[in-house]
Amino acid sequence: MSESLAIQPSRAAPPLTDPMRLRAIFAGSAGNLIEWYDFYVYAFTSLYFSSEFFPKSDRLVQVMATSGIFAVGFLMRPIGGWFFGRYADRHGRQKAMVISVLMMGAGALVIAALPTYATIGALAPALLLAGRMVQGFSTGGQYGTAATYLSEIAGPRRRGFWSSFQYVTLIGGQLSATLVILLLQHLLGDAGMKAWGWRIGFVIGAVAAGAIVLLRRHMHETASEADRAGAQAGSLSELFRHSLRPFLVVAALTAGGSLMFYSFTTYMQKYLVLTVGMTAQAATLMMTAVLVLFMVQQPLMGLLSDRIGRRTNMLLFAGLGIVCTVPIFSALATTREPLVAFALIMAGLTICSFYTSISGLFKAELFPVHVRALGVGLAYGIANALFGGTAESVALALKDWGVEHAFYWYVTALCIVSLGAALLLPDTRRDNPLDR
């Protein structure tokens, strides 16, 4: 059954020297880092600008409103995945990636320059929503296109290693946003950040996005003109006619992988404060250290996949997730030792690394080249919006209802779904469709 998922590759690939390939991987990864920096800087500055865009009312209501707009970014991802996936399959990966990053930068610039509610009234939050929708749309397009590009440009040797830099830069973007905000807080203080300092983070992101234009000449196109010229390139009907099973497999694996990732990253900081009892500052410092190590794990797990195969990586992720999720969360809930908490979180993220390190690669290996970016981006966008984007909301709701432990079993259940999908994956170590 797993062999039925193997597909036909691109009919032509551009000859690249090793230095050219490395520059292309760097350029593609840099664009991904900029994209995710811009996406996360909103979350880290919302506490400062929430009161500026909504009527003066309860502080919690203001934060919830800005968080709701943050969630809209996830809802826009499937649409961005469809649009940019179609564009990349028809017009090229390089063009799609550059446009996506520039669009993200434009959204950041709009938010940075927005007048407040006191100046233009209800139009202020409406424009904030519009800027965030543009960013969510862009992020949905960047993931599938970057995953496809890095998988195709990496070459047959150490493909898992080089493709892992998609998540290295994804996490790096999150860390970069954190460090920029910490620096601004130190220089400006809370008053300065609330008055105008929060805008600087968005300006930095917009300028960095513009710099991607300077790197585009190193981003060599990976799909041939023949692959892109066909009438079925980037077609939804073509995708679902011949690649429905791979699409469902990718969606199922993304559901478990995204839920696990967001549970141990974005939600974990709140979990440490609300359940474990840490201070907000201690939780932030711990998660920063954890994310650095998690980032370092990605190329190591990518190298491992080059040895044992992507299918084995995914089976390890799902199997360990099923066995270990409930014990890890349960132990975290009762520990008061920072080092124990650190070790438990790292255990969860190490399990997650089996998935994240090759998240884009195993997906790209399942689709034919003329619908590859579309298949990867759309399947990811839908599953990520449904399960990754809602992870925090589901966890907090269950905690509010007094059944927080049900969230641990919810994550476990999605890992079971991922295990079933992982069993359907082909072993691409000896006969990789990206190499033919």
CB neighbour class for 350 (10 Å; exposed up to 12, middle 13-18, buried from 19):
middle
CB-side exposure of 5: number of CA atoms within 13 Å?
A: 23
CB neighbour class for 160 (10 Å; exposed up to 12, middle 13-18, buried from 19):
buried
Q: Which two structure tokens, joined as six digits, stand for 190?
A: 């809370």
Query: Rounded mean pLDDT of the chain?
Result: 85
- Predicted pLDDT of residue 76: 86
Does residue 360 contact residue 160 with C-beta atoms inside 8 Å? no
78: nearest Cα among 314, 258, 261: 258
CA dihedral for 18, 19, 20, 25, sign (positive or negative): positive
Domain architecture of the chain: domains with CATH: 16-215 (1.20.1250.20), 237-425 (1.20.1250.20)
357 DSSP assignment: T
- Predicted pLDDT of residue 245: 93
- Predicted pLDDT of residue 9: 42
Sequence-distant (≥ 6) Cβ neighbours of residue 402 within 8 angstroms: none
Q: Which two structure tokens, joined as six digits, stand for 195?
A: 């008055």
Q: How far apart are the first and last CA of the chain?
A: 22
Sequence-distant (≥ 6) Cβ neighbours of residue 246 within 8 angstroms: 5, 7, 366, 367, 375
If DSSP codes are grouped into helix, strand and coil, which group holds residue 114?
coil
**CB atoms closer than 10 angstroms to residue 199:** 19
Radius of gyration of the chain (CA): 21
Give me the residues of the chain with pLDDT under 50, please.
1-4, 6-14
Give the ranges where 114-243 is alpha helix by DSSP (H).
Answer: 117-120, 123-153, 159-163, 165-192, 198-210, 212-215, 225-229, 236-242
Sequence-distant (≥ 6) Cβ neighbours of residue 337 within 8 angstroms: none
- What backbone torsions phi and psi does residue 335 show, to the nearest 5 degrees? -80, 150
Give residue for tokens 């990754």.
388
pTM: 0.85
